[in-house]
Structure 1
Amino acid sequence: MLGLTPASALRQAYSGCASRVRLPTRAAAPVPGRLLAATCSHFSTVPLAYELHEPAKPVADKQTSPIIFMHGLFGSKKNNRTMSKVLARDLGRHVYALDLRNHGDSPHDEKHDYTVMAADVADFIHQHGLKDPTLIGHSMGAKTAMVLALDQPDLVANIVAVDNAPVDARLSSEFPRYIQAMRKIDEANTTRQAEADRILEPYEPSPTIRHFLLGNLHRPGAARGDSTLKFRLPLTTLGRSLDHLGDFPYKNPAEARFVKPALFVRGTKSKYVPDEVIPLIGQFFPRFELVDIDAGHWVISEKPEAFREAVLRFLEPKE
């Protein structure tokens, strides 16, 4: 469910792409759709923080038809910053990289599931007057995109779902370990990232993934001269949500279908989109295309150029 920082092959400045960071400014009202209408009385949406990446040469009529980019579990808008700039440049479209609830600079809330995350994004679309957006989401963000497309298909032009599928699936065992390790780091009151990394290392051997997780550290008491590092993630809320973050709220394709274009990108070394779920993808998303990339679950960071080419082929106007 993670979304790591894009690889160094694309880690460079792209001239002509401007970025603006926007923080949430107000509480929002629920945006009901078919699924959301049944539960909207039990939750409220939160205003999402975002970065706006603007192309130097916008394509005519595309300012209100942007791309909305959503990260995975424990990620944030900064993980998709480089790819967002690339897509803004190559497609001439505005790209909004979001912080989903309980991540990055977006507000924390006790409820964390795909129904409420989809409602947050729907409300974001309405707030900003966006028309026919493309939703791109990795893992947790992919399921959020799928739920919103099935729930309010008139609100979305198309989707790109990266390494996840519309099925119930148990999350990998590393996610509870990550929560446990991050709690230990919080309790240690460390002031150095290197010390936090040493605490995390027994739980995760990959330096890349450790760097990704530690990117959520900040110094909340800096203004008071306190240099203690803490995670900006609400670890209790996310830990409590792990059991159902593998779930998918739609169970019956006969009750909800998204008949507009959909691209599913999967890593061939990942287990999240096995061959046996492909027929079900086709039932929920009958106009879907499938692209396999020689990568693990972190497709965008492992093979950024292959991902970029797949998205461009899908989104560029057809002759």
Structure 2
Amino acid sequence: MTSEQSKTANIKHAFEPATTHLLLGDIVPLHLFSADAKSSTKYRQVQSSVREIGLVELPVVARDKDAPGKYLLIDGHMRIEILRELGIMEIECLVATDDEAFTYNKRVSRLATIQEHFMILKAIDNGVPEETIAKTLNVNVNQIRLKKRLLKGICPEVIEMLEDRFVPMNTFTELRKLAAVRQVEAAQLMIAMSKFSINYAKSLVGATPQSQLVDTSNPKKVHGLSDAQMALMENESANLDREVRLIEESYGSDHLDLVVATGYLTRLLENARVVRYLAQCFPEILSEFQKMTEPNRSAPTTSRRRRAPIIRPI
């Protein structure tokens, strides 16, 4: 046996090689579903999907070491509850080799808005009717048509930037009003601020000069804002953009200077004579120095040199 084969032989499999059909009565949930959870939009969507096309993802269980023949439900509580409501009493499951009670879903990347758009397009290309997709997702067919046209008028750079983000559909409606260059700037601001709401998108449109809109002929109108207020927003947005770019250019060197200065002050305050002198002559400065170096002084150290006591000004 080669070394590579030996390594492969020592790898512990996360799941048993074959799936298992189990009765719902033999599966022990780790938590129960409340009435509020059952009335959520997510629950109704999964319920509709199971009813229309069956299970897409198998529940994950682990053998109960204290009760032979019973299985702990690790992942799939919502699906199991829906199957019970639908009267389905036997289900195919993945059997995990470890009964770790962590949630598998924390390791799963959720379907973002743009990814859902591509999924709908692929389903339609494969011949699935829009009505069937709407029933599966428990939404109106008009919403499927809107999602199908989601990226019309959105430049490729913005699509790439937002492809793994959860962005409301109406936000893309606002982005379509902007020229390609301004779309990229708006997407960068959204990511930097971690804000993708429709109201934030409207504010970005309101702060955009007329020359950077797709339709430059019609005057820009934002509900609740006068022309003077929009002009002020444009000026403030331009100033803020310049300030952000200046900060980005100097951030690296400024951060390095701060680290070096903080390290120097930390070493300085390890000297009891220096601390005593500052406490007697410049208590305000000592107080500020100690605030600046507090994280460094509270962190554990491997140095054998005894630290000087922290002297608070009286």
Structure with max Cα Rg: 2
- TM-score, structure 1 length as denominator? 0.20
- TM-score, structure 2 length as denominator? 0.20
More strand by share: 1
* Greater relative contact order (Cα < 8 A, sep 6+): 1
More helix by share: 2
